[in-house]
A and B are shown apart, each in its own frame.
Chain A
Amino acid sequence: MKMPKKNDINNNKKKRKDKENNKQQDQDYKLELELEKEPIQQQQHVFVLVDENAFSNHNNDQEEELEEEARVEESDSSEDEVGPRNTIGDVPLEWYKDEPHIGYDITGKKIIKLPKKDMLDSLLATADNSKNWRKIIDQLNDEEVQLAKNEIGLIQNLLRGKTPHPDVDPYAPYVDWFEWKDSIHPLSSAQEPKRRFIPSKWETKKVVKLIRAIREGRIKQDKPKEEPQLYLLWGDDSNSTEKSGHGLSYIPAPKPKVPGHEESYNPSVEYIPTQEEVDSYQLMYEEDRPKFIPKRFESLRSVPAYENALKESFERCLDLYLCPRARKKRINIDPESLKPKLPNKKDLKPYPSTCYLEYKGHMGAVMSISVEVSGQWLASGSTDGTVRVWEVETGRCLRIWDVGEAVHYVAWNPVQERKILAVALGHDVLLLNTGFGDEEEQQKVKELLHIEAAQDPDESGATSTVSWVQYDKYEGVRLRHPKAVSKVEWHFGGNYFSTVMPTGDSRAILLHQLSKKHTQTIPSKVRGLPVSSVFHPSRNTIFIATKKSIRQYDLQKKCKLVRKLEPGVREISSIAIHPAGDNVIVGSHEGKLCWFDVDLSSQPYRKLKCHKKDITDVAFHPSYPLFASCSDDCIAYVFHGKVYSDLNQNPLIVPLEKLQGHTSTNGRGVMDCTFHPRQPWLFTAGADSVIKLYCH
């Protein structure tokens, strides 16, 4: 039988189209009639069964005839060459979507799109024409095509999953061409095999296998499923033990957090964040962002299912089996109880607390101040190149020495009769005769500060690195050092003084004798960069502070090392000795103050982090139990520091007062602080060129 091909359908379509163009309606009807007849003919095949082959041939012939007939009658032999009306070829139609035409005909003219039918038109069309439902739109050519009945049948067959062509019969009766009727002998003369008559060996084997499996229990007969049995698991709780079976204590997981007011479905108004607050959450880091944003529902029925319910439950599960558990002791105390109990400040009076006087006059930062032993005069040195002496009680500037170079350090001679001021500036140290005191004293001072010119060249030039020269500008002596001098400190006897040259290597610390005008180095080697050197207030020892440590040397035993103190701070900036000599305070560049009990340990007894910036100076009061520190953060701190004569009792340290008032200049704050020798007063020198006096 001839199977319909794809082309046939196309051809049929084309035929239909042509026919419609020619309005040959009668042809159409004829073909339909033919189609209607066909099933009847097929039925005939079933019953007749006479010369099937011939009949099928006939049938084929008939079909061919039909087709030929159609072809002839349609008279379009050139039909196959006639392509579609539209010549755009096999291109996507959507290229012409926005154009008024759908393509071009064979002459190159545009084919204009048909006006679109709306729903009403199509409805009317169905009402007018009963065959309207058979019309489809040919997208390529943009025209309506009416499908013939056989074409519709074809489509229906396709939809039903049947063979598309109506003529094909998948269940055609089988025709057995062998003629059984007259044969009396079997086709094969072979004997029936024996295996057809004996039981199967393999079956037996299989059965035996199964039997064995059942016997051995490998195959179990179906048992009714056991219900999970529940019983009284915890009969008596008497044998409960704290530890679990494996000897480790069980740490119960922390319970989930109980909800607060804000998690309510209807919280009070104040728990709901405003829109701005919600927006501001977006700017936060993800960890800080609140996980739950309270929301208000007007009634219980409007509460939706919580979308994170499963997720949160899952996270809880993860926490339970993945998080390490540890017992942590939670301190539940009042934070105030952490503070040490200190005696009241009122008991510790007097101490400097308020600014009483300001000494103004310097043009630059005041680097150093020093109070005369009697407490009458205050000397100050500044970066503007002047040294001034002030009357303490009035604030009057009594004398000015213009030394022409930035002054680093000033120090009064500790002996009351010798009103000599040592000044460190640049490479020089000046010993100035201040001119105070009565005539007798003046005479002595003048004698002390007199240098014979002849003595100089052979002695100082040969043995010492420092030359003692008469200062020509003012009355006094000038000591020329090879390197810059940072500090001058007097021995309590008033005859000796030491100078510090931080870059002086082996000659960094020098000892000078005023009476003999003699200079000598320290026999021991100084390790590290020296920062400061201080004489012991009563014994002949010297403390030398380098950046990391403090060493005490005995001056009478050829500078033997007595002890070494390790403050453990980054960089030492200043040091002060308690008047009794057994306690030392050390200030550091990181703002830490260390109190050493020298006899107790080489480690600090107490470290106080009291400043934010470098500590510039520390000072003890000579008689009151007070000490102070000053720093670049423009603060001077006053402490109570009581040392008991009982060796078993630790010194008592109490912070007393934060003295503020100086302003920061070029990043420096308070440069120096000194106590009044008799009164509980504190002088501070600021980088803002002001000296302040704080009284109680």
Chain B
Amino acid sequence: MPKHYRPPGKKKEGNAAKYMTRTKAVKYLQVSLQDFRRLCVLKGVFPREPKKKFEGNHKTYYHVKDIMFLAHEPLLEKFREMRAHGHKVNKALAKKNKERAERLKAARPTYKLDRLVRERYPSFIDALRDLDDCLSMVHLFATLPAVEREKIEVSRIHNCRRLSHEWQAYISRTHSLRKVFIAVKGIYYQAEVQGQKITWLTPHALQQVLTDEVDFNVMLTFLEFYETLLAFVNFRLYHSINVKYPPILDPQLEALAEDLYALFRYFSASSRAQVLENQDLSPSQPENADLGSVGTEGDESDLRLAQLQLQLPTNTPGALMQLVEKAGVEDTDDDETRECKSLFKNLKFFLSREVQRESLLFIIPAFGGVVSWEGGGAPFKETDEGITHQIVDRPSQGHMFLSREYVQPQWVFDCVNARILLPTDIYAVGRVPPPHLSPFVDNEAEGYVPEYAEKIKRLQAAARKELMPMPGLDIEDIEDPQNILVAGVISRTEANEAAEEQRKISMLQNQYHDELNMEVQGVPYSASGVHRTMQIPVEDTESKKETLPDSELPVNEEIMMSNKKRKLYKAMKMGEDKKKNANKLLEKRKKMAEAKKSA
């Protein structure tokens, strides 16, 4: 008799009834494994872990409900239709009926994924929450070359580029970018949209390496869904700021591959148009003004006719940027957005030819700066007097304007992360810039603070010195800029309340210490509970100092723990030790490096 014998007629029970192995699922659905994979990817169905793996440990298990969910999917029927269609084409070709084959090929069944997007993400917030992978993937494909043999089509690459630029334009426009980080893998961005922190990675804007280890079928299936998702997300986001989607871009700028800038212009133009529409009741006047301005500005590229009727192209990019800002002043801005918006306010950047443009064109406007570059379609020239910073990534700079600062690109990234303007001298041309630190690491929790992070902290503290110290805060607290960050946000009255609370907390802490004392002093464990009261005599705190050293004696509590707890304890200790060792290693390396430098 087999191990799990089930008499005939008796239903399956437990895990065997709830879960299904992949092979069985494929058989049940009567699809090929490839189609099953595609379905799973598109529907977001993933394997689940049953409590008991009844058919072996090495198998993947799906929930029966998930499989039923797939079985009722209209897409499944569509896949079958496509398969049948393929057969028809093959048959026609085999019968040398080219005409029919052509006709069939033209009428290939297609499907749409919008319903799936809605189904997987019932609310918009859900979609935003899961957007990380989507953005990383779309940004990656935006930099890939179209490869015929891997079925990566040019149109899809272009679509990815367009979507990524639209997303970046939105983020930049709403000033919701929070953190940026240049890693070896690419550039990480973190934005906050509707309270959701969205992190994504864009590869460095270079030729990507194509490897054979990658199965593009799977990636393209993912991309298919992600493209749809991002398009709808962008639509919704644009809708939320009253901009028409899909945007109509200036063809000349598009041809110059300045999509992002073209998008900015589109934004500003549409917002301007709105402002004008609100101001003027007669719609004919702005139209006339539009046409006139286009006529006068010969150098300015023509916008499309449809655009012209609605929007107002601007004469100078400086005015444009101001327009963007004017439109951006909305009462809904939270403090962080306000802070981000004003970081590069009144600064004018110019990117040298060798600087990687994409990321900086995205970041600088996101933090309120104005930027131009060397090349076609640039809003202003290098000789512009108003430029305050020129970003240079070359060993030496020949001609230098005295009126502006020459910095390496890392300066922008570090400023953004520190939220202050850092001194530019250490980022000067030809120098090795200071270490670029990750904004995603909580140094305090990690237990190791790099030297440059401390320096930045001091600079931040200095920049905020005008802030009055809050009541209830000690000097130590002021030194800790995070406290100030928090404190800076809340108003004075709130601060008072906070101080009150802090006092309470400290009271409670004292009480806790006293209770500890009680235990230490020898009130037996069981008895101490009876004696415990809220009023603790003051003299207890004095006796604390005498009794505390006793607790340092090694108490062998470990053998009193249950097996489970002991193992958990050991595992936790191991993790702590690992962290400590890593930090020790860092300190050791630092010492060695310093010794080398001095020697």
Contact = CB atoms under 8 A, between A and B. Distances in A.
A130 B573 CA distance: 91
Contacts of B199: 255-256, 258
Contacts of A654: 560
A282 B219 CA distance: 32
A320 B589 CA distance: 37
A312 B208 CA distance: 13
B178 to A, nearest CB: 12
Interface in B48-77: 48-49, 60-61, 63, 65-66, 68-69
A270 B587 contact: yes
A264 B182 contact: yes
B572 A265 contact: no
Interface string A213-229: 00000011010000010
B198 to A, nearest CB: 10
A610 B297 CA distance: 89
Given A258-B188, A305-B207, 8 more contacts: A234-B124, A255-B132, A259-B183, A259-B185, A306-B203, A325-B48, A335-B572, A345-B555
A244 to B, nearest CB: 7
Contacts of A308: 185
Contact of A325 (B47, B123, B563): B47
Interface stretch (B79-87, B114-122, B262-270, B286-294): B114-122
Given A246-B66, A324-B49, A313 B354 contact: no
A270 B590 contact: yes
Contacts of B121: 234
A303 B184 contact: yes
Interface in B501-531: 519-526
B111 to A, nearest CB: 11
B441 A261 contact: yes
25 contacts: A220-B107, A234-B236, A244-B119, A246-B68, A250-B44, A256-B133, A261-B437, A263-B184, A264-B183, A266-B182, A268-B452, A269-B435, A271-B586, A271-B589, A297-B184, A299-B408, A300-B408, A301-B393, A312-B185, A321-B41, A342-B560, A343-B524, A345-B555, A346-B550, A658-B556
B37 interface: yes
Given A270-B593, A311-B214, A324-B46, A253 B133 contact: yes
Contacts of B355: 300
B235 A344 contact: no
B112 interface: yes
B203 A248 contact: no
Contact of B435 (A259, A266, A322, A339): A266
A115 interface: no
B450 A344 contact: no
A653 interface: yes
Interface in A252-301: 252-253, 255-256, 258-261, 263-274, 292, 294-295, 297-301
Contact of B519 (A267, A314, A344): A344
Contact of A260 (B209, B440, B593): B440
Interface stretch (A13-21, A176-184, A235-243, A565-573): A235-243
Contacts of B356: 300-301
A389 B114 CA distance: 95
Interface centre among B46, B354, B523 (most CB of A within 10 A): B46
B218 A252 contact: no
B565 interface: yes
Contact of A230 (B63, B107, B245, B573): B245
Nearest to A238: B123
A141 B136 CA distance: 68
A306 B204 contact: yes
A339 B49 contact: no
Nearest to B210: A310
A247 interface: yes
A199 interface: no
A227 to B, nearest CB: 9
B466 interface: no
A260 B441 contact: yes
Contacts of B182: 264-266, 300, 303
Interface string A339-355: 11111111100000000
Contacts of A271: 586, 589
Nearest to A299: B393
Counting chain A residues whose Cβ lies within 8 A of the other chain, the interface size class is 35 or more
- Kindly list the 4 A-B residue pairs having the minimum CB-CB distance in the complex, ordered from nearest: A240-B123, A268-B435, A258-B440, A246-B69
B232 A233 contact: yes
Contacts of B380: none
A231 interface: yes
A244 B126 CA distance: 11
B235 A230 contact: yes
A393 B289 CA distance: 115
- In this complex, the member of A240, A310, A342 whose beta carbon has the largest number of chain B beta carbons within 10 angstroms is A310
Highest count of chain A CB atoms <10 Å: which of B203, B560, B563? B560
Contact of B120 (A232, A244, A264, A653): A244
B524 A309 contact: no
B560 A306 contact: no
B154 interface: no
B524 A347 contact: yes
B561 A326 contact: no
Interface residues of B, number: 120
Interface of B: 37, 40-41, 44, 46-49, 60-61, 63, 65-66, 68-69, 103, 106-107, 112, 114, 117-127, 129-130, 132-133, 136-137, 140, 144, 181-186, 188, 199, 201, 203-204, 206-211, 213-215, 218-219, 222, 228, 231-232, 235-236, 239, 245-246, 354-356, 393-394, 408-410, 432-433, 435-438, 440-441, 450-452, 519-526, 550-551, 553, 555-561, 563, 565, 568-569, 572-573, 576, 586-587, 589-590, 592-593
B63 A248 contact: yes
B586 A609 contact: no
Most buried by A among B185, B219, B519: B185
A268 B106 CA distance: 58
Given A267-B436, A271-B586, A299-B408, A259 B188 contact: yes
A642 to B, nearest CB: 9
A454 interface: no
Contacts of A175: none
Given A247-B65, A261-B437, A263-B438, A269 B590 contact: yes
B495 to A, nearest CB: 30
A304 interface: yes
Contacts of B394: 301
B124 A237 contact: yes
A232 B49 contact: no
Given A232-B236, A252-B130, A309 B203 contact: yes
A245 B410 CA distance: 47
B127 to A, nearest CB: 7
A343 B519 contact: yes
Given A299-B408, A608-B559, A306 B185 contact: yes
A300 B431 CA distance: 12
A331 B239 CA distance: 42
Contact of A339 (B206, B433, B558): B558
Nearest to A269: B593
Given A248-B65, A259-B185, A264-B181, A270 B586 contact: yes
Contact of B186 (A245, A306, A339): A306
A323 B69 contact: no
Contacts of A106: none
Contacts of B433: 266, 299
A343 B106 contact: no
Contacts of B557: 339-340, 342, 655
A305 B208 contact: yes
Given A259-B438, A309-B140, A320 B133 contact: yes
Contacts of B215: 314
A331 B567 CA distance: 13
A270 B560 CA distance: 41
Contacts of A297: 184
A610 B231 CA distance: 64
